[in-house]
Amino acid sequence: MRQKEASFTKGERLCGVKAISDLFSAGRALYLPPLRIIYQIMPEDSQLEPARVLVSVPKRNFKKAVDRNLIKRRVKEAYRKNKMPLIKSLIASNRRIDLAILWVDDAIQPYDIAERYIKEMIGKLSHLV
């Protein structure tokens, strides 16, 4: 499956208990404050997207669901707009990646700061692939 450049489809979302538990048990961690990234690089599978993403904001840091949802929307939008270098490097190397992006900061950051951290994360992951 090939991705459109400016979309974040259902296939790009990491869902399912088995896939998520496999990622958290066998995945590697990367810490770029305020983000903690857990990733697992695997061989290409024609049935799945090259990158599947899970975004999580802990309830411990943000009690109100409105705040958690705001941060998740900002992180997803930043990923959606800046994902192409990662996707291109995955396709070139015949691999795919599952990602969990965890927002570990206890402050709500503006969108441009969240986007800067996501770009940095994508750059590091592109080099790891």
pLDDT in tens, 33-87: 899 999 999 999 889 999 999 999 999 999 999 999 999 999 999 999 999 999 9
For residues 20-35, one letter each, b for 16 or more C-beta atoms within 10 angstroms of the residue's C-beta and e for the rest, the string is beebeeebeeeeeebb
Q: What is the pLDDT of residue 2?
A: 52
Measured CA to CA, the distance from residue 102 to residue 113 in angstroms comes to 15
On average, the pLDDT of the chain sits at: 91
Give kind and range of the element (H or E) at residue 54.
Answer: strand 51-56
Whether the model clears a pTM of 0.95, i.e. scores above it, the answer is no
The pLDDT value recorded for residue 123 is 92
d(CA 79, CA 89): 15
- Which pLDDT value is given to residue 6? 76
> At 5, is the pLDDT very low, low, confident or very high (cuts 50, 70, 90)?
low
For domain 10-128, which architecture applies? 2-Layer Sandwich (3.30)
